[in-house]
């Protein structure tokens, strides 16, 4: 039996915790960790009579992200109440935005397998987080430190077609969030969360199939894995004539399976209505303009500039712009050395490998951008050989000392002074008079022997080119 060709339709809802000091609607701290139920107040506890007050910084960060996602920013947006009961939702409703979100109709571009892909952003809206429940047999515990923490929910259009695309999209949103300082993008700690909406349809069909929402995905790899599993599950359903239900499913990474959490029949009627405790959020054009002006260069355009300005290959440019700090490091090292390709090579091969092996961020690199630039410059100026440079690089990593100091300390500087090299050559020739005779007699193969002896004499520090030149001149000129 010929199987049909199925096409997945995927959209992502990304929740990003905004990097504010205090919560969305109160002055409680947002710091991760801390004792249970310590970062709370009458507002985040939902005490009788407590009222929310909007955190201006959260609005500013949301506008920042909205602009970076090419969204239209509403001059006037509103908060609404999303009503549902859950023990870790203190007020019995979550303050969110509903039909008047802050950011709408944008897009984001990123590369998948060297091809540029554009995904629409339907909306990005502000909301508060709930608390955290943990279940222990016959009782449950609730920690409300997270309750009220500000989130930006970024909703993509149904534009993604493969699990890989979905993961790349999520990575690129994370990259932008981190570039802007809007969110630290830590999936494991939950400061960024990805929910995936997935349906399948026969290739060529316009109409969407029944969608399933996947939750509890805490890494980009699991975005791919969960979607792969779910696509296959839906295909199996379709091909065996079973119906796909609109439902929420949880991804279990240890079993690599998705499980039904609640069906549409159990779905909540959230009874959204405008929160009467809050006034509309007014964002004047002048403020939007100011935020726009202060936006940093975004990853994709920075990568393009690296290609244009530094003649880097696209591959290098994309990797070096993955993190703002990495790109800054690159540019600082280039500033010092004026050798972009060499800096890129050192970073892509040696530096990133060591950082990875030691699980370090670029900002914690023992080798500063200045030292890397210096090292590259020393190679360019032939102060050290490429072979020595690797040794020096490792020493900088170990000691964080400047390459100049290390080369001196280790006695590694290259001898380029012709007079000094002549002296070495003279010494070697004097000590090997017989070989000189033989060479001059026609055994020119002995040249290699002399190079080796001279190098040994110079402790490997003689500049090979200069040494070759002088050795040849002296051997070929009978005294």
- Shortest Cβ distance from residue 268 to other proteins (Å)? 10
Query: Quick one: which of 9, 29, 45, 288 contacts other proteins (CB under 8 A)?
Result: 45
CA distance 231 to 7: 9
CB of 29 to other proteins, least distance (A): 18
When binding is defined by CB under 8 A, the residue of 202, 273, 314, 465 that contacts other proteins is 273
CA angle (271, 272, 277) in 5-degree steps:
120
Identity of the residue, 53 or 360, whose beta carbon is nearer to other proteins in the bound complex: 53
**C-beta separation of 10 from 160 below 8 A:** yes
Closest CB to other proteins among residues 47, 405: 47
CA 109, 112, 116, 119: dihedral to nearest 10 degrees?
Answer: -40
> What is the footprint of other proteins within residues 165-224 (CB under 8 A)?
none
**142 is a contact residue toward other proteins (CB under 8 A):** yes
Residue 158: how many other CB atoms lie within 10 Å: 17
Treating both helix axes as pointing N-terminal to C-terminal, what angle do 163-180 and 56-68 enclose, rounded to 10 degrees?
Answer: 130
**Residue number with CB closer to other proteins (51 or 360):** 51
Between 259 and 273, CB nearer to other proteins: 273
Closest-CA residue to 258 (of 228, 235, 218, 221): 228
Does residue 114 belong to the site contacting other proteins (CB under 8 A)?
no
Q: For residue 266, give the DSSP letter.
A: G
CA dist list (Å): 27 to 58, 88, 97, 150? 12, 19, 20, 12
Radius of gyration of the chain (CA): 31
Is 315 a residue that touches other proteins (CB under 8 A)? no
If the CB atoms of residues 50 and 250 are measured against other proteins, the closer one turns out to be 50
Tell me how far, at minimum, the Cβ of 35 lies from other proteins, in Å.
Answer: 17
Query: If phi over 0 gives left and psi between -120 and 50 gives alpha, with beta otherwise, what is residue 328?
Result: alpha
Give the one residue of 34, 87, 313, 452 binding other proteins; rule: CB under 8 A: 87
Q: Which of 278, 332, 348, 451 binds other proteins (CB under 8 A)?
A: 278
The answer to the question of residue 340 lying near other proteins (CB under 8 A) is no
In the complex, minimum distance from the CB of residue 283 to other proteins, in angstroms, rounded to a whole number: 15
435 counts as binding other proteins under rule CB under 8 A: no
- Scanning 189-197, 276-284, 367-375, 458-466 for contacts with other proteins by CB under 8 A, the matching segment is 276-284
Which of 114, 115, 188, 269 binds other proteins (CB under 8 A)? It is 269
Interface with other proteins (CB under 8 A), residue from 8, 52, 66, 373: 52
Closest CA to 192 of 234, 241, 149: 149
Residue 352 near other proteins by CB under 8 A: no
Among residues 54, 261, 435, 446, which is the contact residue for other proteins, using CB under 8 A?
Answer: 54
Instruction: State which residue, 279 or 295, has the beta carbon closest to other proteins.
Output: 279
What is the greatest pairwise CA distance in the chain? 106
The contacts of residue 250 (CB under 8 Å, 6+ apart) are 214, 215, 216, 258, 259, 261
Q: Which of 62, 164, 180 lies closest to 121 in space, CA to CA? A: 62
Q: Where are the alpha helices (DSSP H) in 253-368?
A: 285-293, 299-310, 314-320, 324-337, 340-346, 352-357
321-337 CB burial, b ≥16 within 10 A, e <16: bbbbbbbebbbbbbebb
Shortest distance (Å) from residue 267 CB to other proteins: 10
Query: Does residue number 146 form part of the binding site for other proteins (CB under 8 A)?
Result: no
Is residue 78 at the binding interface for other proteins, with CB under 8 A as the rule?
Answer: no
Q: Is 150 in the site for other proteins (CB under 8 A)?
A: no
Residues near other proteins (CB under 8 A): 42, 45-54, 81, 83, 85-87, 90-93, 138, 142, 269, 271-273, 275-279
């Amino acid at each position: 039996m010929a199987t049909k060709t199925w096409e997945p339709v995927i959209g992502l809802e990304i929740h990003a915790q905004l990097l504010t000091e205090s919560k969305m609607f109160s002055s409680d701290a947002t710091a991760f960790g801390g004792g249970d139920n310590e970062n709370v107040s009458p507002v985040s506890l939902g005490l009788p009579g407590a009222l929310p007050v909007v955190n201006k910084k959260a609005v500013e960060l949301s506008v920042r992200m909205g602009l970076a996602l090419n969204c239209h920013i509403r001059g006037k947006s509103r908060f609404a109440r999303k009503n549902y009961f859950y023990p870790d939702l203190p007020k019995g409703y979550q303050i969110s935005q509903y039909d008047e979100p802050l950011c709408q109709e944008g897009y984001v571009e990123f590369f998948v397998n060297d091809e540029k892909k554009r995904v629409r952003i339907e909306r990005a809206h502000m909301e508060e987080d709930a608390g955290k429940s943990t279940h222990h047999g016959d009782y449950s515990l609730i920690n409300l430190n997270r309750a009220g923490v500000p989130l930006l929910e970024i909703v993509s259009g149904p534009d993604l077609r493969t699990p890989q695309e979905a993961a790349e999209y999520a990575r690129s949103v994370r990259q932008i969030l981190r570039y802007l300082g809007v969110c630290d993008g830590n999936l494991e700690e939950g400061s960024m969360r990805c929910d995936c909406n997935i349906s399948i349809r026969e290739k060529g069909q316009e109409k969407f199939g029944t969608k399933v929402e996947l939750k509890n995905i805490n890494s980009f790899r699991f975005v791919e894995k969960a979607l792969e599993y779910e696509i296959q599950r839906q295909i199996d359903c379709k091909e065996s004539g079973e119906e796909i239900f609109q439902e929420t499913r949880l991804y279990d990474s240890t079993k690599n399976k998705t499980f039904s959490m609640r069906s549409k029949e159990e779905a909540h009627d959230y009874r959204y209505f405008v929160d009467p405790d809050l006034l509309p959020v007014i964002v004047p054009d002048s403020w939007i303009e100011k935020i726009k002006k202060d936006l940093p260069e975004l990853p994709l355009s920075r990568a393009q500039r690296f290609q244009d300005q530094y003649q880097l290959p696209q591959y290098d440019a994309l990797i070096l712009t993955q993190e703002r700090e990495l790109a800054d490091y690159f540019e600082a090292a280039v500033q010092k050395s004026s050798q972009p390709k060499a800096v890129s090579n050192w970073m892509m091969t040696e530096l990133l490998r060591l950082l990875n092996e030691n699980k370090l961020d670029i900002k914690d690199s023992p080798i500063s951008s200045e030292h890397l630039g210096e090292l590259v410059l020393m190679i360019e100026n032939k102060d050290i050989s490429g072979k020595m440079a690797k040794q020096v690089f490792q020493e900088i990593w170990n000691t964080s000392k400047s390459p100049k100091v290390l080369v001196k300390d280790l006695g590694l500087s290259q001898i380029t002074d012709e007079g000094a090299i002549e002296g070495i050559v003279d010494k070697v020739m004097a000590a090997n008079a017989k070989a000189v005779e033989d060479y001059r007699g026609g055994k020119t193969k002995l040249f290699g022997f002399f190079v080796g002896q001279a190098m040994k004499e110079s402790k490997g520090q003689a500049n090979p080119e200069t040494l070759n030149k002088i050795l040849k001149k002296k051997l070929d000129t009978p005294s």
